[in-house]
Amino acid sequence: MRVISGQAKGHPLKAVPGSATRPTTDKVKEALFSMIGPYFDDGERVLDLFAGTGGLGIEALSRGAESAVFIDSSPQSVEVVRRNLESTKLAGKASVYRNDARRALKVLEKAGRPFDLIFLDPPYMMKDCDALLTEIAERGLAAESAIAVVEHHPDVSYPEAFGGFERTRYATYGDIAVSIYRYESNQEASAVTTMETEEANER
């Protein structure tokens, strides 16, 4: 694993020991950022809620995001995220916390600062990322026009629209699916106005 582009381009990232964490591959990460916008320069705040190695949030910081919050319940993951941030010299833009995802949202709500880019790459056994994103919005943690990226198994189907989120892109890469949503607070959950679907099956 490495940082694909930006300030820390080419820098290797440490992995979390064991098989419990499934990091996003470089190929999927590169495709994902090409879909959501290759670079950032408008003060974006990032939430990496199931951080793992921190690869997604670190990639966003490397590409110009202003700040990132990394959350993971695993002490090993939290330690790896911190080491990766230090080695890429991006630690000054980041906050790292060990916490359960939903408990972390309650803490973040008190800060009252919404996020522009939200990464959800939970264990594949978790199939309610739509409910989690809805809670994120209800707690005021999704900025207007925020982008949310959900990694999940292709067999897991998420709605095209819910709770102000509307799916704008969908792609599959082998046994990984990526659903990308945009949040608008005044959007009717049942109204879908645009959707682009991409299939990129790789063997």
* 149 occurs within a structural domain: no
CA torsion 68-22-78-86 (nearest 10°) is -60
Selection from 44, 92, 99 nearest residue 71 by Cα: 99
What is the DSSP-derived secondary structure letter of residue 24? P
Q: Is 203 a member of any domain?
A: no
Instruction: Return all residues near 125 (Cβ < 8 A) that are at least 6 apart.
Output: none
Residue at 4 is within a domain: no
Is residue 155 included in any domain, yes or no?
no
Q: Is the pLDDT of residue 135 over 60?
A: yes
Where is average pLDDT lowest: 68-77, 82-91, 119-128, 183-192?
183-192
Of 138-147, 167-176, 181-190, which gets the smallest average pLDDT? Answer: 181-190
Sign of CA dihedral 123, 124, 128, 134: positive
For 1-50, what is each residue's pLDDT tens digit? 899 999 999 999 999 886 556 678 888 999 999 999 889 988 999 999 99
Average pLDDT, the chain: 89
Number of separate domains in the chain: 1
DSSP string spanning 42-104? S--EEEETT-TT-HHHHHHHHTT-SEEEEEES-HHHHHHHHHHHHHTT-GGGEEEEE--HHHH
For residue 102, give the CATH number of its domain: 3.40.50.150
* Distance in angstroms (rounded) separating the CA atoms of residues 203 and 201: 7
Q: Is position 92 within any domain?
A: yes
75: in domain: yes
198 pLDDT higher than 50 = no
Q: Residue 193 is encoded by which pair of tokens? A: 């106005």
pLDDT for 197 equals 44
Evaluate whether residue 37 is within a structural domain: yes
More confidently predicted of 130 and 19: 130
Parent domain of 104: 26-143+160-197
Q: Is residue 14 part of a domain?
A: no
- Spatial contact of 68 and 61, defined as CB atoms under 8 Å apart: yes
The pTM (predicted TM-score) of the whole model is 0.88
